[in-house]
Structure 1
Amino acid sequence: MEQNGMTHLRSPYTVAETLDRLQIILFGNGIDVFATIDHRATAEAAGLSMTPATVLIFGAPKAGTPLMIAAPTLAIDLPLKALVWQEPSGAVWLSYNTPEYLAERHGLPHDMIAAIGGIRNLCEAAVKPGPL
């Protein structure tokens, strides 16, 4: 499902399993994971509660740097991010900004989208049923 420049993929796994699968895929493709932000844990530390929501920040400097040179404001959206979150109903989703949205938002030349286009395959593999 795509909406407002984001793709939302339903995951058959828990939030933790989906995150683990995505990280395994990223590492297997030589992509660095720079940070993990666990919003639920932060909320709980502040005395609040929310369903699980974790952002994984990842990328490859050799791919991202030329993009930021071509469109400097793209640096606000790079490295790439994926959000793994759970609805109150229990459904788990993996969401990310589409490469086309990022290109349009920052005026990135169309021929350079391929450098970030791989996010689709990586995220789809993470939520695909079965072993990695």
Structure 2
Amino acid sequence: MNKLRWLIAGFLLIHSIHFQVLAEDSDGVVRVKSMHSVATSVDKLESALSAKGMTIFKRISHSDGAAKAGLELRPTKLVIFGNPVVGTPLMQCGQLAGLDLPQKALIYEDEAGVVWFAYNDPKYIVQRHNITGCDDVIDKIATALHNFAGAATR
């Protein structure tokens, strides 16, 4: 029984580290590999957002827009979402953060057929707009985005 606990703990740790490694990037965009199709990932994201009381402002299908223009684009959807209770404190720290709000998640299929969930790293937004004294708000937003990405991709 004790070995089973260690095995499960090890699996969970490796899974957690794997998720974090895929999510790190230095260009201000967090990318998380999804185990689902674009459509399923979007549905799972919207379900998680609704469960947390977030407003889903819009779902945009870039690939549908491309098709209407006679162009081809792999499945690519943008979900725009937010909540003033979360976003307003960030703008109180630095109003230009409003350029990056509401939050956006881009879920797309790459040239290899891999589905990705991408979003702006809140820490990058802080750097971009030279925001200071707002660490608690940023941590809260980063945690929420991380959790939404996990809900959509696992």
Give the corresponding residue for 2:125.
102
Using the TM superposition, give the Cα deviation of residue 88 of structure 1 relative to its aligned residue in structure 2, in angstroms: 2.2
1:106 aligned partner, one-letter code: H
Hey, what's the Cα distance between the residues in 2 that align with 1:37 and 1:69? 28
1:7 corresponds, among 20, 30, 33, to 30
Using the TM superposition, give the Cα deviation of residue 42 of structure 1 relative to its aligned residue in structure 2, in angstroms: 0.6
State the SS of the aligned residue for 2:78. Answer: strand
Hey, what's the Cα distance between the residues in 1 that align with 2:131 and 2:117? 25
Check whether the contact 1:64–1:115 (CA below 8 A) recurs between aligned residues: no
Give the corresponding residue for 1:114.
139
Give the corresponding residue for 1:66.
89
Q: How many residue pairs get matched?
A: 128
Matches within 5 A, 1:1-132: 1=22, 2-3=24-25, 4-109=27-132, 110-111=134-135, 112-117=137-142, 118-128=144-154
Using the TM superposition, give the Cα deviation of residue 125 of structure 1 relative to its aligned residue in structure 2, in angstroms: 2.0
Structure 2 residue ranges without an equivalent (≥5): 1-21
2:149 aligned partner, one-letter code: C
Could you say which structure has the higher helix fraction?
2
Hey, what's the Cα distance between the residues in 2 that align with 1:35 and 1:108? 27
Higher relative contact order (CA 8 A, sep 6+): 1
Hey, what's the Cα distance between the residues in 1 that align with 2:88 and 2:122? 15
4+ residue stretches of structure 1 with deviation over 4 A?
none
Could you say which structure has the higher strand fraction?
1
Using the TM superposition, give the Cα deviation of residue 67 of structure 1 relative to its aligned residue in structure 2, in angstroms: 1.4
**TM-score, length basis structure 1:** 0.91
Structure 1 residue ranges without an equivalent (≥5): none
